[in-house]
Amino acid sequence: MTMSKPVLYITCAAMTAATAVPAAAQRTADPAAGFPSRPIRMIVPFAPQGPNDQLARLVGIKLTEAWGQQVVVDNRPGGGTVIGTELAVRAPADGHTMLMLSTSTAVNPVLRPRLPYDTAKELQPLVNLAVSPNILVTHPSVPAKNIAELLALARAKPGEITYASGGTGAATHLAGELLASMGGVKMTHVPYKGAGPATIDLLGGRVSWMFGTILPTLPHVRAGKLRAIGISSLQRAPTLSEVPAIAETLPGFEAQSFYGIGVPVGVPGPVMAKLNTEIARIITMPDTREQLRQQGAEAVGNSQAEFTKFFRGEMAKWAKVIKDAGIKAD
């Protein structure tokens, strides 16, 4: 009898230890518990100073403040975003490497069929940060004061109406092709090496019209040097309520630029959920939302499932436009 108590004590202690181990193991097995454990790399497949770069830095600063781990913005331009995207999909799938996604990412599988990666299988959309419509602006000499008149002019002069873009396959080029397709007209695309040179030639009257991003284009409209006749979102933009949506003339027309974040496929679900929740919170904060609105963009901050559906939809939508128009990358 004198030995029964020590034996019972040892047995209970052993049982307590045995039950404690799985609980501790379960806590340490949660990949999001200690995330991030080192600096986060945000790859931007564009040169500095553009909207993708600016959004990446805005999110990066606030993530650093929230989590105490530095977010390093890594600009890797070139190859129509292919160089930076390949770098991202080859990175370890642990959530410490993210990639800025845009329309270019969505159209490349069709525009550049020999990609060194499979966009649909190797890249996971995480969260949409913002969307930004473009405004259709014409040179004042063009005798069209609205979309209906521009389309009528194009029908009367097939192929003679020219429009500029920042390059073959750029979002503004694809928007122009969508307009021509939905309007049932033929217009001639004139690609430039960037929106800047395209705008210069439009201001000089060497091309008829172009889609331009709101922030840099609006001053020319206000000065009377360009005429804004339509906006590419489904509804009018709050900052340009006087400019009709093109969808008011061509129902369903929408060609907005989007700015999102993706990660390599394989990042653990809890880590993706943690990233999505925090980034969505950041991008929809009142001050952030207002800052974006001043630049002509609207904050989104949706779920991973919502952004994935949107991204896949953009891939399918623009694939059809590219194939129908026979567009090939330069």
Within 8 A by CB and 6+ apart from 72, the residues are 39, 40, 41, 42, 60
At residue 25, the 3 state secondary structure works out as helix
Backbone angles phi, psi at 265, to 5 degrees: -60, 135
Alpha-carbon distance of 128 to 289, in angstroms, equals: 13
pTM comes to 0.85
Backbone angles phi, psi at 254, to 5 degrees: -155, 130
Domains and CATH numbers, the chain: 40-132+256-325 (3.40.190.150), 134-248 (3.40.190.10)
Alpha-carbon distance of 142 to 264, in angstroms, equals: 47
Tens place of pLDDT per residue across the chain (330 aa) = 444 444 433 344 444 444 444 444 444 578 789 999 999 999 999 988 888 999 999 999 999 999 999 999 999 998 889 999 999 999 999 999 999 999 999 999 999 989 999 999 999 999 999 999 999 999 999 999 999 999 999 999 999 999 999 888 889 999 999 999 999 999 999 999 888 899 999 999 999 999 998 888 989 999 999 999 999 999 998 878 899 999 999 999 999 999 999 999 999 999 999 999 999 999 999 999 999 988 889 999 999 999 999 999 999 999 999 999 999 886
